[in-house]
Amino acid sequence: MTAHDFLVNLSLVLCVAALATVVFQRIRQPVVLGYILAGLIVGPHVPIPLIADHAIVEALAELGVILLMFSIGLEFRMSKLAEVAPTGGVIAVIEVSVMACLGYLVGRAFGWTPLECLFTGAIVSISSTSIIAKAFEEQRVQGRRRDVVLGVLIVEDLLAILMMAGLTIFASGREPTFADLGTAGLRLGAALTGLLVVGLLVVPRLFRAIVALGRPETTTVAAVGLCFAVAHASQVLGYSVALGAFLAGMLVAESGHGHDIEQQVRPVRDVFAAIFFVAVGMLIDPALIAENWVSVLALTAVVLVGKVIAVSSGAFLVGNGTRSSVAAGMSLAQIGEFSFILAGLGLTLGAVRPFLYPVAIAVSAITAFTTPAFIRAADRVADRVDRTLPAPLQTLTALYASWLEEIRSAPPSDGRKARIRATLRIACIDAIVLVMISVSHSLFGPAAASKTADLLGLGGEAARWTVTALAVSVAAPVCVSLVRAGGRLGDVLAEAVDEDGTSTRTPARRPTLVAIIRMAVVLAVGLPVVAATQPFLPPFGGALVFSLLLLALAAQVWRGASDLQGELRSGAEILFDSLRRHAAAGPRVDARPATGAHVPGGVRIAPGDAAVGRTLIDLNLRSRTGATVLAITGPDGHAQLPNGREVLRPGDVLALAGTREAVEAAAGVLREAPDGAA
């Protein structure tokens, strides 16, 4: 390669990318798609006389991957990760596990190899940070939805790094044994520990000193130099350069100047990231996509539907209302840059056939086009979902969010924290044991069946069923222990609400809360187990068993929601008396009055309020704010359960359920909102 060849290819790639970017910005589409289209134009698979040297572009693209991962790492301060882990971490684990399972099952349905199925599951599980950030910026998305989505993206990126390391082990070319997995895990742990310990002692102090010099160019050169040095060290240790670049970004972020350094590195990163996406586009073979169009459509449907359901479910379980949960799910329904990196890793390692790369890019392109429309439609879809829920679930969704809010605001207790940690520790141990049982049965089951046949004189099929039954009998108590751990955690959290003194201890509240927490624990712990053990189990076997378990838990939640709805009706007078006392003695709105866990807010209608003379159907409070009106009591003391057609009068007091944010928003609508305005 001569300097002239390098210059010709670089100018060709950047000029075509710039033109495509301008066009895509004009039509309000993600610029990443413009770069991919530019790669298709300069690639060898379309009859356009602008063909770049793929070897040169790929070498430059490697720099783009490194700088892109470095920028992602700059957003990962340990404190920030600890902050989002309780909520975004649970949502991300549930989502990634669900998508990994669905991707794996789709691959098995198409007859792909187990390794290709594993890579497919990883490819469809990670959303695109760049596409979402651009769409949020253009549509000015703020508030709770943005916070939830960004928290999930942070944890997703970390999980993607771990998946890259794990897939590299599985793509070694032979079936891994326990010894291989254990050795590889210890080796990876030692490498990460060494880099992080040494890096945390040196890098943050070094960069504080460099930034103190007040020379931005020095800071930029030092940051980029460290990025490439750690990426090279990671490659020498046998891991990807992306892992090293990500760790370098994390270390620099601990200096406290990660945001400023990210701004300085961004121009360099953007240039090489553009070349990376152009290189991605050059690998698109329209003929391969046309040949595999069924798998493209199937995986696209899995991403669009599976991510919305998985994220929405996880977001609800950690305490977001229906509206925020569905909106977050609609925002994350795409795949992007990590999917390209994972597909490229599989291709480089020889673990997947060439068809999977263009299929992944096609799915990413389609879902990137749909992302802005999904984000715009999120509120409408959330309203429709909320309206179609049965009445018991509508009430439960509002009350559950308020319960978790009470739990978070409960006074800290060392004893309670210790019990929570102990329960979570037991759940994690159960998960590890289940994985070991599944892997052991897969690796040693045939040999055990052969010995069983010899000892007991059984036929081959009978011996295999005997070994399988033994494995199931060992795993069953562990599954029961996991479910019980979820119940114990629910009991501990319910006690936090009871001790707070603001909750009405109705019979249905505690078992309902325990049932939901139990389901959340089983999802957050059990789903990763299913995803991790799929390659070692019969096709669809683990997913089927887990689905049956979830159905049983969902039946308990439904029963609790129905009981709760009945208690609200039968105990309405007690609720109204409490509400009237609060309305007479307290402020017009309070997110946590002493009116019971059912009613975290009470609002009294004043003569000048906008709600006077209007019905709840007209106000559409639940869809607009996420708060639910549980009861109305008039100035004459008459109490009624709302059906939506009651005309509100001055002196009416509305019992509202929902989070503090939802109740305050509903109070604003009742008092001040003009017709048709939220």
pLDDT tens digit string along 427-455?
A: 888 888 888 887 777 777 777 778 877 77
Range name among 206-210, 219-223, 526-530, 635-639 with the lowest pLDDT average = 635-639
Mean pLDDT, rounded, for 560-583:
61
Mean pLDDT, rounded, for 589-610:
55
Residue 617 has pLDDT above 60, yes or no: yes
**55-82 as b/e, with b when 16 or more CB fall inside 10 Å?**
ebbeebbbbbbbbbbbbbbbbbbeeebe
Mean pLDDT, rounded, for 149-170:
80
What pLDDT is stored for residue 504 in this prediction? 45
Label residue 300 by pLDDT band (50, 70, 90): very high
Residue 546 has pLDDT above 70, yes or no: yes
As a whole number of Å, the end-to-end CA separation of the chain is 62
In DSSP notation, 317-366 reads HTT--HHHHHHHHHHT----HHHHHHHHHHHHTT-S-TTHHHHHHHHHHH
In this predicted model, which residue has the larger pLDDT, 131 or 677?
131
Gap between the Cα atoms of 434 and 457, Å rounded: 30
Q: What is the tens place of the pLDDT at every residue in 377-406?
A: 887 888 788 778 787 887 787 778 777 777
Residue 212 has pLDDT above 90, yes or no: no
Task: Set out the domains of the chain in order of their start, with CATH numbers.
Answer: 3-173+180-388 (1.20.1530.20), 405-569 (no CATH), 572-672 (3.30.70.1450)
Q: Could you give the C-alpha distances from 242 to 177, 191, 356, in angstroms and in order?
A: 26, 15, 20
Quick check: pTM over 0.95? no
What pLDDT is stored for residue 174 in this prediction? 53
Range name among 155-164, 184-193, 230-239, 310-319 with the lowest pLDDT average = 184-193
Contacts 24+ apart (CB under 8 A), 150-153: 150/88, 151/84, 151/87, 151/88, 151/91, 152/88, 152/91, 152/92, 152/95, 152/127, 152/311, 152/328, 152/332, 153/88, 153/127, 153/129, 153/332
Residue 579 has pLDDT above 70, yes or no: no
Gap between the Cα atoms of 55 and 73, Å rounded: 27
Label residue 497 by pLDDT band (50, 70, 90): low
Gap between the Cα atoms of 100 and 88, Å rounded: 18
What pLDDT is stored for residue 498 in this prediction? 62
Q: What is the tens place of the pLDDT at every residue in 7-55?
A: 887 788 888 888 888 888 888 777 777 888 888 888 777 777 667 676 7
In the chain, the percentage of residues whose pLDDT exceeds 90 is 4
Q: What is the tens place of the pLDDT at every residue in 499-542?
A: 554 444 556 677 888 888 888 888 888 888 888 777 777 767 77
What pLDDT is stored for residue 585 in this prediction? 44
In the chain, the percentage of residues whose pLDDT exceeds 70 is 85
Q: Provide the mean pLDDT of the chain.
A: 78
